[in-house]
Amino acid sequence: MENKQTKQYNFTKIILSSNKSVLILKISEVKSVDKMNLRKLEELNNQHVTSVVQEAIQLCKPVKVTVITDSKEDINYVRELALTTGEEKKLKMEGHTIHFDGYYDQGRDKAHTKYLLSKDVDWGLGVNYIEKEKGLKEIYSYLDGSMAEKEMLVRFFSLGPTNSIFSIKALQITDSAYVAHSEDLLYRPGYEEFKRLVGSNDFFFFLHSAGRLKKGVSADIDKRRIYIDLEENRVYSVNNQYAGNSLGLKKLAFRLAIKKANEEGWLAEHMFIMGVHGPGGRVTYFTGAFPSACGKTSTAMIPGQTVVGDDITYFRKINGKVRAVNVESGIFGIIHSVNSEDDPLIYQALTTPRELIFSNVLINEGISYWLGMKHAIPNRGTNYSGEWFKGKKDSEDKEIDCSHKNARYTIRLNALENIDPKANDPAGVPVQAIIYGGRDSDTTMPVVESLTWSHGVFIGATVESETTAATIGTQGVRKHNPMANLDFISVPFKTYIENHLKFAYGLKEVPKIYSTNYFLKDEAGSYLNSKLDKRVWILWAEGRVYGEYEAIETPVGRVPKYEDLKTLFIRELDKDYTEAEYLQQFSLRVTKYLEKMERMSKIFKNVEMPAAFTEDLKAQTERLKEARTKFGEDIISPFKFLDT
Ligand code: SPV
Ligand code: MN
């Protein structure tokens, strides 16, 4: 009991110990909470909720506290408040608004996002942490009085469909109506869900303050901090507005979920979910993890298929099968290069009346413009740098683009015509295949099926994405990003991989695992594939789930047969796929693959890993070397593996 008290009040304990005279009030005595809002809190009948709200009030000292239920009136109140505070402005088209984040607040702040941990840890791969007591003191000092002139919003959400075994309840406290409004577009309402807790503390808690605002944007960016308390299922975020930093429910909740999943025997992954539509009306659900710029959204949005989610997935084993839900109900998508040719469904949603938020695009006469929209862009307007004109430079003499490369749109998933009918099913959808999508110009074949589940986990754990950094000349820089999840893994890396390996135990149907690479290039630097080709890869992968195509076994996995692709290219894209193209795309580049194996051996040399992973790395390296010896070639035609 003693222990519980200390835990519950660690907020106030720390404030008090930092020598400030804080009077601990009961929530009913707090002036900023009126009777109606108090009643809304009390109706939840949950002392844990009441006490965290009370602690947050005590710390942030808002002038007013508003509790938002799932009612239309309350949700509308948030929408209107974002306009009143000026965090969002109305655009010409009905329902559209624009929000700007500060010039230096345009992406996730990896350096200042840290776990609050009690002792020195070695998690294997990349973990950013701060000693807990020190971190709490620092962030409390920034949050202290942060809402002195602001209104505190208290919102309840469900991560995952409501009334579902998959889902987690989440409480968001913020002084940003933009944050609260964005979460309304991106997540399911959860006030009624909280009643289902019957008093338990099994919920995530997020406290955010945008901090001092100057011209509507967070002014104290040097004091931007995002601290994650895995032990208490809490995250504190201050002095920022960019959604990846400020919205507790997105990547912050995701980190808490990975830890919770680890403890409870399920998986939380940085993956989309899509329905792949095979022959005869068959729908096969795929999930996919792709580092940014590797084709995640374009895969989820392949024409003719349906989308369940585009960012975060919870998986469970139910009756020997893998099922999954989309944690979100909206999309916070990159707008760069969204245009009517390449992304017709998204473009349509962004250019018709509906509730949506643009962020960090260019606004001219109430209309949004962005890079790569394939539309004439005006020479002036307002963007994330303030008043903008073509040629404007920043303080470092860098020309400012009309829109930021990470400019975004926030919409509900049901704004898209291709939403899958099971997108909100509390039982989730059955998962029959998983894709790990990487990016390189010279190594990985466009689509490869793993040899086994464990080999598939190995493929996921060795995903690389090649960036074209100007400073490095023609050679790209390859960034290792296991399961596209490196930034978010909140358990030791070995444990994370073990959880993937173990997930197949006891399954009646083990999902197939594939890798994709849409970015192979020829010597002249031209892409070997068109943007549309991924439709063929995914339909081949879908057919393989049912054993409809034979495959060729190579040292790195199974690849399609030429005849099958030829048929699929004609059927799906009305395109003649030549044998020369096939050979260019599906020949095994042994030396390049061996170079990749070497990079991986180096990365994992000092990282404790499960034996199965180490064995897969060794076995694949050996298979590659054997093939090179056997065929005496650097690049081996897939036909050569046909009769082995
Ligand atoms: C990502 O970066 O993977 C995103 C956007 O989905 S953010 O909300 O910034 O995480
Ligand atoms: Mn993401």
Provide the pLDDT for residue 409: 97
Average pLDDT over residues 277-285: 97
pLDDT at 22 over 60: no
The burial class, CB within 10 Å (0-12 / 13-18 / 19+), for 521 is middle
Query: Across 149-246, where does the E strand assignment appear?
Result: 151-159, 168-174, 188-189, 203-209, 213-214, 217-218, 225-229, 234-238
Q: For residue 449, which phi and psi values (nearest 5 degrees)?
A: -95, 135
pLDDT at 124 over 90: no
Q: What is the DSSP letter of 23?
A: -
> How far apart, in Å, are the Cα atoms of 545 and each of 433, 450, 511, 541?
7, 12, 8, 7
Between 293 and 330, where is the model more confident?
A: 330
Task: List CB-based neighbours of ion ligand 2 within 5 Å.
Answer: 311
The first and second tokens of residue 195, run together, are 């009643």
pLDDT at 21 over 90: no
pLDDT at 1 over 50: no
Provide the pLDDT for residue 563: 98
Average pLDDT over residues 545-572: 98
- pLDDT tens digits for 296-307? 999 999 999 999
Provide the pLDDT for residue 25: 66
Q: Give residue 251 CA to ligand 1 midpoint distance, Å.
A: 7
Ligand 1, atom 5, residue with closest C-alpha: 244
Q: Give which of 627, 23, 90, 57 is closest to 356, Cα–Cα.
A: 90
8 Å CB contact between 67 and 41: yes
Any atom of ligand 1 within 6 Å of the Cβ of 181: no
Among 206, 224, 327, 332, the mutation site with the greatest number of ligand 1 atoms within 8 A of its Cβ is: 332
Ligand 1, atom 4, residue with closest C-alpha: 244
Provide the pLDDT for residue 468: 63
Average pLDDT over residues 330-359: 95
Average pLDDT over residues 364-373: 97
> Which ligand is nearest to the Cα of residue 272, counting in written order?
2
Ligand 1, atom 6, residue with closest C-alpha: 311
Angle between the N-to-C axes of helices 10-17 and 132-143, in degrees from 0 to 180, rounded to the nearest 10: 80
Provide the pLDDT for residue 514: 98
Q: 41, 57, 294, 520: which one is catalytic?
A: 294
**SS3 assignment, position 17:** helix
Average pLDDT over residues 121-129: 84
8 Å CB contact between 178 and 151: no
β partners of residue 383: 386
Provide the pLDDT for residue 20: 46
Residue owning tokens 């507005």? 241
Any atom of ligand 1 within 6 Å of the Cβ of 271: no
Average pLDDT over residues 110-132: 88
Any atom of ligand 1 within 6 Å of the Cβ of 480: no
- Supply angle C-alpha 103, 107, 108, rounded to 5: 135
- pLDDT tens digits for 438-478? 999 999 999 999 999 999 999 999 999 997 654 544 567 89
Of all residues in the chain, the percent with pLDDT exceeding 90 is: 90
Provide the pLDDT for residue 9: 39
Residue owning tokens 């996730």? 108
pLDDT at 592 over 60: yes
8 Å CB contact between 27 and 56: no
Provide the pLDDT for residue 18: 47
The dihedral over CA atoms of 511, 513, 519, 522, expressed in degrees to the nearest 10, equals -130
Give the span between the Cα atoms of 539 and 534, in whole angstroms: 9
Question: How many C-beta atoms surround the C-beta of residue 221 within 10 A?
Answer: 17
8 Å CB contact between 271 and 288: yes
The one-letter code for the residue type at 7 is: K
Provide the pLDDT for residue 600: 98
Q: What is the DSSP letter of 517?
A: E
Among 292, 297, 463, 486, the mutation site with the greatest number of ligand 1 atoms within 8 A of its Cβ is: 292
Give the span between the Cα atoms of 371 and 513, in whole angstroms: 34
8 Å CB contact between 609 and 600: no
Give the span between the Cα atoms of 24 and 45, in whole angstroms: 21
Q: DSSP per residue over 598-633, as a string?
A: HHHHHHHTTS---HHHHHHHHHHHHHHHHHHHHH--
- Across the chain, mean pLDDT equals 93
Any atom of ligand 1 within 6 Å of the Cβ of 108: yes
- pLDDT tens digits for 57-83? 999 999 999 999 999 999 999 999 999
- Supply angle C-alpha 145, 148, 151, rounded to 5: 120
Q: What is the 3-state secondary structure (H, E, C) of 589-606?
A: EHHHHHHHHHHHHHHHCC
Whole-number CA gyration radius for the chain:
25
Q: DSSP per residue over 242-294, as a string?
A: SHHHH-IIIIIHHHHHHHHHHHHT-EEES-EEEEEE-GGG-EEEEEEE--TTS
pLDDT at 644 over 90: no
Is 294 designated active site? yes
Average pLDDT over residues 402-410: 96
Q: Give residue 181 CA to ligand 2 midpoint distance, Å.
A: 19
Average pLDDT over residues 493-518: 97
Tell me the torsion sign for CA atoms 96, 98, 99, 104.
Answer: positive
